[in-house]
Amino acid sequence: MSPDQRRAWFARVVESGLENKMFAPADVLQHATPDVLANHLPPELLSKVLAASLAAGSMTPERVLDTVTPELLAQHLPHDVLWQCIAAAAARAGVTNTPGKP
Amino acid sequence: MNVKGFLAAALGSAIELGIGTADDVLRHVTPDVLAAHLPRPLWARLLTACLGAPKVDAQLVVETVGIANLCEHVPAATMWSCLADIAVRALGKPGEQPAAVPTPIAESKSAPAAKGSTRVPLAPAPPPAEAPRRPTPPPPSPAAQGPAIPAPVEQHAADDSRPPPGQRFRQAATGIGRGLGANQVRRPQAQAAPAPAAAAAAAAATTAPRTPGRRGQTEAETETETSVETGDWRGKEIAVDDSQLVDWSSDNTESRDEDFGDFSRKR
């Protein structure tokens, strides 16, 4: 399993979770906190996030994820963080009883 | 919230990207689970594919049923277990790696008759000696519960084990061309020494005038002394020497004696 494949898969899972409303952008930011984002996103991406928010007048989780797409999340954030988000959503959906733990 | 759609997308992409395998799926979606939740038409499709495939394994099951159908009919918690296992491996957590579980599909070669036992296609494989065995009841006989098997699926008809068209027919066993290959050299035949009588006959044949062969070109045109086509032989008188006559009575007697002598000896 190559890192590219792993990254692509986590990106696809996050994307699918958003599409299927397993979790919302706000749920993602519950785990991908500002601290996590600030420590892992590259400067140019942080700049884009801020620029988009400034242009819109507000910074919402949806707007953050418009800029930091699932592909970029999987590229820069630890996959543990993404998986905790996914597992917590699954627990909320009643699929599993152990939130955050696979 | 579309949990099934999410699971289908996550598992489908995992298999597509090589993150997970069909074995990961069937480790949780066991034959028992399939028997309990899969609709009969899907079972019929699965049985048809398994019967027509030379090798029955987890990949065949997953490809035949489809991840979407599995997520649709199998409980989400079970499918989540598959996804969680894949994620644990993808995250590189060897400590949380589940213990070795036997491969659910036992049949790898379609030769049940040769082994002298009736095998259920989707029976779980015997686990290794050190691996813990999951208490799973024996799967139901698919032939007993399943409906009539429909026509084979075209998707699997393409990859079945039929020989290519060039190998479908046996080679003719006429022996034509046998041993006459380009790189084969014929052995020289030994010159047989002629027998004395045969040699004398051969010498006589070379000195005597040759009669046309039986299949010679002039056979139809040659007119011999005894030819009856012309019809003028009736008026001719043919001179015959006494030495050319045959004593039939003595000849027959001899032959009868020989025959009876042989008969009495056989008795």
Cβ neighbours of A79 in B, within 8 Å: 90-91
Confirm whether B97 is domain-assigned.
yes
B154 band by pLDDT with thresholds 50, 70 and 90: very low
- pLDDT score at A23: 95
| CA contacts within 13 A on the Cβ side of A81 | 20
Q: Which two tokens mark B146?
A: 């399943």
Q: What is the pLDDT of residue B104?
A: 42
Residue B166 placed within a domain: no
Q: What is the pLDDT of residue B131?
A: 43
What is the percent of chain B where pLDDT is above 70?
36
Question: How far is CA B236 from each of CA A7, B151, B225, B226, B240, rounded to the nearest angstrom?
Answer: 115, 86, 11, 11, 13
Nearest of B42, B55, B263 to residue B159 by alpha carbon: B55
Q: Roughly how many angstroms between the first and final C-alpha of chain B, as a whole number?
A: 102
Instruction: Give the pLDDT confidence score for residue B7 in this predicted structure.
Output: 94
Is residue B61 domain-resident? Answer: yes
Residue B202's pLDDT is what? 53
Mean pLDDT of B37-43: 87
B24 Cβ under 8 Å from any chain A Cβ: no
At B102 the pLDDT is 40
Q: Work out the angle at residue B42's Cα, subtended by the Cα atoms of residues B100 and A89, and round it to the nearest 5 degrees.
A: 55
Which range scores top for mean pLDDT: A49-58, B2-11, B45-54, B184-193?
A: B2-11
| Domain count within chain B | 1
Q: Decide if B37 is inside a domain.
A: yes
The reply to whether residue B76 touches residue A93, judged by beta carbons under 8 angstroms, is yes
Residue of A nearest to B82 (CA): A102
Q: CB–CB of B57/B22 below 8 Å?
A: yes
Q: Is residue B249 part of a domain?
A: no
Q: Residue type at B214?
A: R
Whether A102 and B9 lie within 8 Å, measured CB to CB: no
Q: Do B96 and A102 touch (CB under 8 A)?
A: yes
Distance CA B161, CA B171 (A): 20
Measured distance CA(B181)–CA(B7) in Å, rounded: 62
**Has residue A65 got a pLDDT over 80?**
yes
Instruction: Mutation target for B interface from A7, A10, A79, A98: give the one with most B CBs within 10 A.
Output: A10
- Residues A101 and A11: their CA atoms lie apart, in Å, by 19
**B206-227 exposure pattern, b = at least 16 Cβ within 10 A, e = fewer:** eeeeeeeeeeeeeeeeeeeeee
Question: If contacts are CB pairs under 8 Å, which of residues 57-86 in chain B contact chain A?
Answer: 76-77, 80-81, 83-85
In-domain check, residue B252: no
Q: Residue A27 pLDDT > 90, yes or no?
A: yes
Q: Is 60 exceeded by the pLDDT of residue B96?
A: no
* pLDDT surpasses 80 at A24: yes
Higher pLDDT, A90 or B189: A90
Residues 6+ apart with CB under 8 A from B33: B74, B78
Q: Which of A20, A87, A102 sits opposite B1 (nearest CB)?
A: A20
Question: Would an 8 Å CB–CB cutoff place B14 in contact with chain A?
Answer: yes
Domain that holds residue B103: 3-108
Least confident of A60-69, A79-88, B99-108, B132-141: B99-108
pLDDT at A37: 87
Whether B171 is in a domain gets the answer no
Q: Do A12 and B13 touch (CB under 8 A)?
A: yes
CB-based contact B110:B55 (threshold 8 Å) = yes
Q: B47 pLDDT exceeds 90?
A: no
Nearest CA among A1, A9, A22, A35 for reference residue A86: A22
Residue B136 resides in a domain: no
B97 vs B93, more confident: B93
User: What is the rounded average pLDDT of the residues B78-105?
Assistant: 71
Q: Cα–Cα distance between B117 and B106 in angstroms, integer?
A: 13
Provide the sign of the torsion angle of the four alpha carbons B119, B121, B122, B128, taken in this order.
Answer: positive
Tens digit of each residue's pLDDT (9 = 90 or more) over B173-222: 444 444 444 444 455 565 555 555 555 555 555 554 544 444 544 444 55
What value of ipTM does the predicted structure carry? 0.71
Distance of CA B183 to the CA centre of its chain: 29
Asked if A91 and A98 touch (Cβ cutoff 8 Å), the reply is yes
Q: Compute the Cα dihedral for A25, A29, A34, A40 and give only its sign.
A: negative
Residues constituting chain B: 267
Alpha helices in A20-102 (DSSP H): 25-31, 34-40, 43-56, 61-67, 70-76, 79-92
